[in-house]
């Protein structure tokens, strides 16, 4: 085998290895994204059981959940107790650091302006969300706060992950709420 043939074989092997690795990494990424979104949905189900708007969130650092939250605005009488805010606070406590560098936020619904802003301030790397929020959305529906280059940090955004499941949970909750109101009257 000539030196040129040997070099060509090595390049082909490296290319195959790289392709295989990136494909595997991509598949693992999809699996992990869904795994973490399922955890956010579990948080949303907790909110539903507590008669809170069923939105859930988890914060992931190095492939490990370090913060969880679901809406608690009613139970805490706190307008800022959104799922994302609770999860970001929990993650900061876990790390002992307010900067959530190398952390990703998974939420069942597109974060509102407040939660999107908090994610930017916390230096979150990427925001994954399920259903869009046309009335309050801060990550694409109304505003794109995490992508605003006027701010000192930007977060990547990926929406539509398990959007059907997230939207269905919200629909069921509000349908149940309307039935409760109708039965009271």
Give the model confidence (pLDDT) of 75-88 as tens digits.
Answer: 999 999 999 999 99
Tokens of 90: 């929990």
pLDDT in tens, 152-166: 999 999 999 999 999
Rg, C-alpha atoms of the chain: 20
Residue 100 CA to residue 121 CA, distance in Å, equals 9
Tokens of 75: 């139970």
Q: How confident is the model at residue 72 (pLDDT cuts 50, 70, 90)?
A: very high
Instruction: Report the share of the chain in percent with pLDDT over 70.
Output: 84
Cβ burial of 30 (10 Å; 0-12, 13-18, 19+) is exposed
DSSP type of residue 75: T
State the pLDDT at residue 28.
54
Would the pLDDT of 107 be above 60? yes
pLDDT in tens, 14-51: 333 333 333 333 455 677 999 999 999 999 999 999 99
Q: Which of 53-57, 67-71, 169-173, 175-179 has the lowest mean pLDDT?
A: 175-179
* Of 12, 34, 50, 84, catalytic: 84
Would you say the pTM of this structure is higher than 0.85? no
Helices (H) and strands (E) in the chain, counts: 4, 5
- Is 11 known to be catalytic? no
DSSP type of residue 78: -
Sheet holding 56-61, edge to edge: 64-70, 56-61, 103-109, 126-131, 156-158
State the pLDDT at residue 184.
83
Tokens of 31: 């699996």
Separation of CA 138 from chain center: 13
Helical segments of 50-147, H only: 83-95, 113-121
State the pLDDT at residue 23.
33
Would the pLDDT of 177 be above 70? yes
Q: What residues contact residue 100 under an 8 Å CB cut-off, 6+ apart?
A: 59, 61, 88, 91, 92, 122, 123, 124
State the pLDDT at residue 27.
52
Residue 114 CA to residue 167 CA, distance in Å, equals 21
State the pLDDT at residue 183.
87
Would the pLDDT of 129 be above 90? yes
């Amino acid at each position: 085998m000539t030196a040129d043939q040997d070099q060509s074989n090595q390049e082909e092997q490296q290319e195959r290895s790289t392709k295989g690795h990136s494909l595997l990494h991509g598949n693992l990424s999809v699996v992990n994204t869904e795994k973490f979104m399922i955890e956010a949905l579990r948080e949303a189900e907790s909110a539903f059981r507590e008669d809170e708007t069923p939105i859930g969130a988890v914060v992931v650092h190095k492939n490990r959940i370090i913060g969880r939250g679901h809406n608690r605005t009613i139970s805490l009488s706190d307008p800022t107790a959104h799922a994302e805010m609770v999860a970001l606070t929990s993650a900061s406590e876990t790390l002992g650091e307010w900067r959530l560098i190398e952390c990703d936020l998974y939420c069942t619904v597109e974060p509102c302006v407040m939660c999107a802003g908090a994610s930017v301030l916390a230096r979150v790397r990427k925001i994954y969300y399920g259903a869009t929020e046309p009335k309050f959305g801060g990550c694409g529906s109304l505003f794109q706060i995490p992508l605003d280059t006027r701010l000192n940090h930007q977060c990547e955004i990926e929406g539509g992950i398990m959007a059907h499941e997230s939207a269905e949970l919200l629909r069921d909750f509000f349908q149940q709420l309307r039935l409760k109101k109708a039965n009271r009257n």
